[in-house]
Amino acid sequence: MTAYPPEPWNLAGQAYLSFWRVPVSELPELPDGVEPAVAGGRAQVFAAWVDYQEPGQLQYHELLVTVAVRGKRLSSSITGIWVDSEVSLAGGRALWGIPKDLAALDFTHGRTFTASAATQEDWIATAAFTARPTLPVTLPAAFDVVQILDGRLKRSPVRAKARPHPAAAEWRINEAGPLGFLAGQRPVLSASLRDFKIVFGG
């Protein structure tokens, strides 16, 4: 059994996020009892590349896709997530029911951030983000991640702060892969989240 830190996890790093509005009929499956937050017949889908760095407890790479869902406060449910850390995979599944899988993730930081993700079977997605300059303001956020753990819904609190910058993003998504429902669609908004700090879990 892979050892992992107890919750909460204190993590830090850089993230690159895009937002889509997707017809409800095209969404991946959500946990039983979880309903998407819908506006104008469309759900809100977020996909992010995350580089977890020091001084956080763990250092690894991640690609995740999450759907905004109904809740007492801002909530989301992760429908697809890939990491290159067996410790992160084991902890995410055991502590919070997050359906992490392993993948090869390649990140290149610079004026333009580029990323790719692939499993042993096939490639998942690639992306390039170019951030636009903005005021260096750090903003807080708090939300719940809603998953199934041991057959029951589990709401895990997340507290975060980061310096957001609007960005231009170009995604290339494998139509036959797990993110195929986003293939051919352009994100509505994209951003880089600089020097984030996250407390995940309670």
Helix, strand, coil proportions of the chain in percent (round to 5)?
10, 60, 35
Averaged confidence pLDDT in the chain: 96
Q: What is the mean pLDDT of residues 76-95?
A: 98
* 201/4 Cα distance (integer angstroms): 14
Q: Residues 114-133, buried b or exposed e (16+ Cβ, 10 A)?
A: bbbbbeeeebbbbbbbbbee
pLDDT of residue 187: 97
Percentage of residues of the chain with pLDDT beyond 70 = 100
Q: What does pTM read for this prediction?
A: 0.96
Domain limits of the chain?
A: 9-200
Please state the CATH superfamily assignment of the domain spanning residues 9-200 in this structure: Acetoacetate decarboxylase-like (2.40.400.10)
* 11/57 Cα distance (integer angstroms): 6
Is the per-residue pLDDT at 28 higher than 80? yes
Is the per-residue pLDDT at 137 higher than 90? no
